[in-house]
Amino acid sequence: MIKKAFIFDLDGVIVDTAKFHFIAWQRLAASLGINFTEHENEQLKGVSRVNSLKKILEWGNKEISPELFQAKMDQKNEEYLELIETLDVNDIMPGVHDFLLELKKQDQPIALGSASKNARPILEKLGIKDLFQVIVDGTNVTKAKPDPEVFLCACEQLGYSAQESIVFEDSVAGVQAANTAGMISIGLGEQDILHEADEVFSHFTDMPQDYINTLLSKKK
C-alpha cells in the first residue's frame, strides 16, 4: 500500500483560531495607535508571533523598546488564550475530523506543522492530539514560514521524504513553505489568495469522494 506523510497546519486548517488571532492583533495594534484590518491580517497568517508584531510595527511606522515589544507580545498571547479558552471538539473545521480518522484507518502517517506555540494545548482541547504521530510547532523550530523548516522537520520525524509529503495550509506563507520544500500543497481557503497551491478547497467537505486515494498517487 502506498503511504505518504500527511502534514497539517493548525490555525485556519484544523480549527478556526485565525479569527481569534485577528481580534487579539487588532486590539494590540489599536493600543499602539496602528490601523489593522482583515487585509493586514491575511499577511500574518502562518507568521510567527514575533514576526507578526515586527510587521505590525513596520506598517504603523512605529519603533518600541525591546521591553515594550516583549510586553506587547505577552499581552497579545494572554488575550488570545482568553479568546480560545472555550475551544472544544465542536470547533474543529468541517470535514477535518473525518479526514483524519480515515487517514488513521488507512494507517497513513499524520503530523502537525504549525507556527503556533499554543499548538499542543489547542489539540488537547479539541480532543484530537493522539491522532498525530508527530507534532512540530513554534516551540520546535527557529525559522518561520515561508521557510520550510517546520514541514521538513515533520516529514523527517515521520521518516518520509519531502517528495512523499502532502501539506494542508490556509496561509500564503505556509503554501510557499510547502512548495519550497518540494511537497504537494493543498490550500484551504480562497483560490485567489492561495493560487500558488497545487489545489485549493474552501473546506475539507468540498474534496471529492476518495480524495485521499487521489492524493496518494499525486505527483508534484
Residues that bind Mg ion (CB under 5 A): 9, 11-12, 46, 170-171
Q: Binds 26, which of ligand B16, Mg ion, none (CB < 5 to 8 A, cut-off by type)?
A: none
Question: Whose Cβ is closer to ligand B16: residue 118's or residue 176's?
Answer: 118
CB of 13 to ligand B16, least distance (A): 7
CB of 57 to ligand B16, least distance (A): 15
**Do residues 151 and 167 touch, judged by C-beta distance below 8 A?**
yes
Q: How far lies 78's CA from each of 128, 181, 213, in Å? A: 23, 33, 41
Ramachandran angles phi, psi of 169, nearest 5°: -140, 145
Cα distance between residue 41 and residue 39, in whole Å: 5
Q: How far lies 30's CA from each of 17, 27, 34, 36, 72, in Å? A: 20, 5, 5, 8, 12
**Do residues 50 and 87 touch, judged by C-beta distance below 8 A?**
no
CB of 105 to ligand B16, least distance (A): 25
Q: Binds 118, which of ligand B16, Mg ion, none (CB < 5 to 8 A, cut-off by type)?
A: ligand B16
Q: Binds 138, which of ligand B16, Mg ion, none (CB < 5 to 8 A, cut-off by type)?
A: ligand B16
Cα distance between residue 117 and residue 101, in whole Å: 25
Who's near 156: CB < 8 A, 6+ residues apart?
Answer: none
- Give the residues lining the site for ligand B16 (CB under 6 A): 9-12, 21, 44-49, 52, 77, 114-118, 138, 171
Cis-peptide, bond into residue 121, ω within 30° of zero: no
Question: Whose Cβ is closer to Mg ion: residue 26's or residue 48's?
Answer: 48
Q: Binds 115, which of Mg ion, ligand B16, none (CB < 5 to 8 A, cut-off by type)?
A: ligand B16
Question: Whose Cβ is closer to ligand B16: residue 106's or residue 177's?
Answer: 177
Question: Whose Cβ is closer to Mg ion: residue 56's or residue 188's?
Answer: 188
CB of 1 to ligand B16, least distance (A): 29
Which positions are catalytic? 9, 11
